Amino acid sequence: MKKLLIIIMIVALLFIGLAFLLNALSQSRSLQFFGGLVTNVETDEKVVALTFDDGPGVHTDQILHILRENDVKGTFYLTGYEIEEYFEDAKKIVDDDHEIGNHTYSHERMIFKSHAFVKEEIEKTDELIRQIGYEGEITFRPPYGRRLFVLPRYLSSQDKSTILWSLEPESYPEIASDSSKITNYVVENIEPGDIILLHVMYESRIESLNAVEGIIHELKEQGYRFVTVSELLQYES
């Protein structure tokens, strides 16, 4: 009886350990089993990419206005369901010549999903991105940065890299709630080849939206140039 209990405990511990490991692996910034993984680009050139996840949403006009006024091209990782919901706004992003990336259709975590599910999420969104008139390269960013086996394998079969990020000021609540802290965090931590992640499309992310202009001004002051993700990839030395 005692033996059985010990075995059950060992098995339970192994499962907990495995769950822990898979969770860490799904968010890893350096390890992925298949295909390319990009968090930043190794370069001495002062180039960085501004990336905006989710949307389009209620602040599309505002972010486009800021980027236009400052002559900056960004990369927008849009979701399929929001492209459908804000179709005209999505077209405006394309009309302003920004880069569009695929952020899945439903924005669900792409872990423990079937190959067919993952494939449909990405293909459907790619189709919508073409429907809004975008003709450039479509890079991919997984929701919450999460992926395990099925998603990377599918992406690698399609020759698509997983694009993550190297600067995420919003991951610290005390920074995320204050636009000047967001700007300062980026300015203090920036390095050539960085990929900056911000969410600016929703009402709840107004501080992030308000930080964009400051980030652009301060980094330009430091001699940085803003490029899209696919342009940044060309700088890999």
Interacting span for Zn ion (CB under 5 A) from 19-27, 34-42, 45-53, 205-213: 45-53
What's the first-to-final CA gap in the chain, in angstroms? 62
The least CB distance from residue 62 to Zn ion, in Å, is 19
Minimum CB distance to Zn ion smaller for 53 or for 207 = 53
Known catalytic membership, residue 178:
no
Residue 196: CB atoms within 10 A of its CB come to: 26
Bridge partners, residue 234, by sequence: none
The least CB distance from residue 11 to Zn ion, in Å, is 36
The binder of Zn ion chosen from 35, 53, 80, 99 (CB under 5 A): 53
Give the integer Cα–Cα distance in Å for 147 and 144. 9
Q: Is 126 one of the binding residues for Zn ion (CB under 5 A)?
A: no
The binder of Zn ion chosen from 32, 38, 48, 54 (CB under 5 A): 54
Contact set for Zn ion, span 61-90 (CB under 5 A) = none
| Annotated catalytic residue within 71, 194, 199, 217 | 199
x/- map, 135-174, Zn ion, by CB under 5 A: --------x-------------------------------
SS3 of the chain: helix, strand, coil, percent, to 5? 50, 15, 35
Region class of 102: left (phi > 0), else alpha (psi between -120 and 50), else beta? beta
Q: What angle do CA 114, 116, 120 make, to 5 degrees?
A: 120
Residue 49 CA, chain-centre distance (Å), reads 11
Binding site for Zn ion (CB under 5 A): 53-54, 143
